[in-house]
Amino acid sequence: MRFAGVARSARHLLTSSRFLSSTTFGSQSDGLFQGRCFATTTLAQSSAPSKVLFFRTQADEITQEELTDLVKPFGSINKFIVMRSGRDALLEMGDVEEARSVIKHFSEDQALLRGKEVQVEYSSRQKLSESENPKVETSRVLLAIIHNPLYQMNVDILHQVFSPHGNIEKIVIFHKAAVQAFIVFESDEAAAAAKSALQGRQIFDGCCKLDIKFSMDYTNNSLPGDSQSKTSPQASILGAGTAFSTMKQGSVPLSGVLPFGVTGSNDKCTLLVSNLHERTDEEKLFNLFSGYGRVLRIKMFENAKQALVQLADGIQAELALNFLKGAPLLGSAMEISFSKHNTIRHPRTRDFTMDPYNRFNSEYVKNCCPPSKILHISNVSDEVEEGDLLNFLAPHGVIQRVKLFESTNRRQALVEFDTIEQATEALASKHRSKLKATSLRIAFSRYHAIR
């Protein structure tokens, strides 16, 4: 079934004062989204039969696909408009009889969308005009809706995700009923390639699912509201570097209560880690810090016993500092403080943004704990025995006890070292290392003893 319509007017989104961030890439002087306006749509309903139906829902950000599923058993659909509220829609059926069938069916059987009731009525309109329903088959502008955003989105992350498919001129992130973003490509072809490759995929494991649509292409020199812009001469990977998000860190959707000592108000993402042993490298720091936040970049300073560790947001940086400050690593107690640099820009910096072993999610907040002498090991192969784990971890210290067990049909283990320092070295050295058939995932355990 082919639809002539577009889902909704973008003008309401762009005049909202709740923009979070905007970044312009390249030397383009054009801004984003201005120009033509949609005609005002009359929402009056009528009891007189019409092939145009009015849908009033209680769900936010309804989509054409969702309402299509409700009515497609009754006939064809000519045009479709989602109203500025994001909850209401006008839908033109093929003829009045098809519309009558929809009304009759849902007067007897309550229409539901996402488990919520939908009101269906005849519209006072007899047809939807083309001027109200402009075609957006392809465009260089994409509207990306990010569902289940366990991590705070910023222009760095979205540029990393979308830039492999073409040159990006501008990214605008805003918060409405959901986290959304406009991504402006240099060409229609690049936008189409990005949409084809990324639609329905998750940015991070288990969260941040992308719902991507073509949007109308408006251009202007400025953006309304409290949006912020940045121009850079070249669009490199992760773009302008710093995230221009004005969202309060406390609004990051992490489950559970923040641990004692973590305020949730910090907005500094980068940590300065000092007093490091000479054998410390980026891999060991990633293995250690990724248990407290999503690690984006790490820069080691040669001969200075220091490193910069950039995490995804301020809460995660605060978690890492709270639990790892003073922790022993390879015989040296780490000194950790917030860096004055929010983004690492140094050359020869290791980028971990898309590393598959970036493991932090909302569940980690509930289980965050300081380094302990007991390690929890998951993703353990069925072939591994207790003796294999002993031999694998023994180079890092004296092991008191090993316990293999199954939880939620997954094989796991607890390993108790003689000291916290030994356990910390083992985690930093062996997390994501392969033992027989699988790569182990290692974290500190909250247990004080193995029973």
| C-alpha angle 304-308-313 in degrees, rounded to nearest 5 | 165
In CATH, 136-231 is 3.30.70.330? yes
Q: Is pTM, for the whole model, over 0.85?
A: no
Q: Which sequence spans correspond to the domains of the chain?
A: 39-132, 136-231, 262-367, 374-444
Task: Give the number of other Cβ atoms within 10 Å of residue 350's Cβ.
Answer: 18
- Per DSSP, what are the bridge partners of residue 406? 411
Q: Which amino acid is at 385?
A: E
pLDDT, tens digit (0-9, with 9 covering 90-100), for 221-267:
333 333 333 333 322 222 222 222 323 332 234 434 567 667 777 88
pLDDT at position 217 = 56
Output the CATH code of domain 39-132: 3.30.70.330
**Fold match, 136-231 / 262-367:** yes
pLDDT at 298: 95
SS3 content of the chain, % helix, strand, coil (to 5): 25, 30, 50
Residue 236, C-beta contacts closer than 8 angstroms, at least 6 positions apart: none
Strand-strand pairing, 19-25 and 231-232: parallel
Write a three-state SS string for 92-109.
EECCHHHHHHHHHHHHHC
Q: What is the mean pLDDT of residues 197-216?
A: 82
Question: Which one of 42-56, 162-176, 303-317 scores highest in mean pLDDT?
Answer: 303-317
How many other C-beta atoms can be found within 10 angstroms of the C-beta atom of residue 274? 15
20-34, 263-277, 374-388, 423-437: which range is least confident on average?
Answer: 20-34
4 in Cβ contact with 77 (< 8 Å): no
Q: What is the pLDDT of residue 285?
A: 97
CB 90 within 8 A of CB 123: yes
CATH superfamily of 374-444: RRM (RNA recognition motif) domain (3.30.70.330)
Q: What topology is assigned to 262-367 in CATH?
A: Alpha-Beta Plaits (3.30.70)
Exposure letters 356-393 (e unless 16+ CB within 10 A, then b): eebbbbbebbeebeebbbbbbbeebeeebeeebbeebb
